């Protein structure tokens, strides 16, 4: 089975991009981030016509996450740990897949910039909550995939020029340390399980010809539990999607579990 994650950067502006992807690639599950719409504005009918169920946790104007699945989804919205957090950044579903009962998460981790503001404090606190919840989920010893836009550059090889990102919230030591803490719970970063090659990017800014000059970063990740990584076969970055007309600044990352 194939599981993809994609920061779509406005589902209403890129519904046709998504529908083409569902037609041409047809993953079994697609985790979406940055929907930038409320639930009632989500294109359920068009996606259901392609054979997918949709679990959506939307928000007007920004944030928003979803899980699309060819199989029905049992869904919970919101990351535990802070009842005052109203940001739509986390949706968790359970699917009876061809490889067994699978728990799948679509997450959109806060950007955190500028780092000398409350935005970075919120990012780190959100990561701490994610670590705590993920630790609890791992105790179930089930197939588990945490997929999404982490807004984390884990290693120097995950960006075109580490010096450029040295003071950015995506690459600061506390950010990377928390990402390592998440991995150290027992997760495997799917992409790095199959390749240690530098320059494997998932995001290119719209500015300054970043796409044309391949000035990218890798911030979209799929983390697999020990039970899920046993099924890992392939990882693909669907880089060609960045060359479409009016694309998202992110591209899908796709794993095959068998």
Say whether 52 is catalytic. Answer: no
Under a CB-based contact definition with an 8 Å cutoff, are residues 4 and 254 in contact?
yes
Choose the catalytic residue: 17, 53, 221, 250: 250
Choose the catalytic residue: 21, 108, 120, 150: 108
Q: What residues are designated binding site?
A: 7, 34, 149, 151, 249-250
Say whether 206 is catalytic. Answer: no
Alpha carbon separation from 2 to 17, 30, 130, 140 (Å, rounded): 18, 9, 24, 22
Q: What residues are designated binding site for Mg(2+)?
A: 7, 34, 149, 151, 249-250
First CA to last CA across the chain, in angstroms? Answer: 6
Say whether 150 is catalytic. Answer: no
| DSSP string of 164-210, one letter each residue | HHTTSTTTSHHHHHHHHHHHHTT-EEHHHHH---S---SEE-SSTTT
Give which of 30, 104, 35, 62 is closest to 254, Cα–Cα: 30
- In whole angstroms, what is the distance from residue 140 CA to residue 95 CA? 15
* Cβ-defined contacts of 204-213 (< 8 Å, 24+): 204/242, 204/249, 205/249, 206/249, 211/242, 211/243
Choose the catalytic residue: 149, 158, 168, 220: 149
DSSP-derived secondary structure letter, 240: G
Q: How many CB atoms lie within 10 A of CB 116?
A: 10
* Cβ-defined contacts of 203-212 (< 8 Å, 24+): 203/7, 203/249, 203/250, 203/251, 204/242, 204/249, 205/249, 206/249, 211/242, 211/243
Under a CB-based contact definition with an 8 Å cutoff, are residues 27 and 2 in contact?
yes
* Positions marked catalytic: 108, 149, 250
């Amino acid at each position: 089975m194939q599981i993809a994650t994609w920061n779509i950067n406005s589902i209403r502006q890129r519904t046709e991009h998504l529908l083409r992807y569902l037609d041409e690639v047809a993953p079994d599950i697609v985790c979406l981030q940055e929907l930038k719409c409320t639930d009632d504005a989500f294109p359920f009918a068009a996606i259901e016509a392609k054979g997918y169920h949709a679990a959506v946790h939307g928000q007007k104007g920004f944030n928003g996450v979803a899980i699309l699945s060819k199989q029905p989804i049992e869904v919970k919205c919101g990351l535990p740990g802070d009842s005052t957090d109203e940001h739509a950044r986390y949706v968790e579903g359970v699917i009876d897949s061809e490889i067994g009962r699978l728990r799948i998460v679509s997450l959109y981790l806060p950007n955190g910039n500028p780092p000398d503001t409350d935005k970075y404090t919120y990012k780190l606190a959100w990561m701490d909550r994610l670590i705590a919840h993920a630790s609890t989920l791992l105790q179930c010893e089930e197939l588990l995939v945490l997929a999404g836009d982490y807004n984390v550059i884990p290693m120097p090889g995950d960006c075109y020029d580490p010096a450029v990102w040295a003071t950015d919230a995506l690459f600061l030591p506390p950010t990377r340390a928390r990402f390592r803490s998440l991995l150290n719970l027992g997760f495997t970063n799917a992409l790095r399980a199959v390749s240690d090659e530098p320059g494997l990017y998932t995001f290119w800014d719209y500015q300054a010809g970043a796409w044309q000059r391949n000035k990218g970063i890798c911030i979209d990740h799929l983390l697999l539990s020990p039970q899920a990584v046993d099924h890992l076969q392939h990882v693909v970055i669907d880089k060609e999607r960045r060359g479409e007309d009016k694309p998202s600044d992110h591209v899908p990352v796709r794993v095959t579990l068998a």
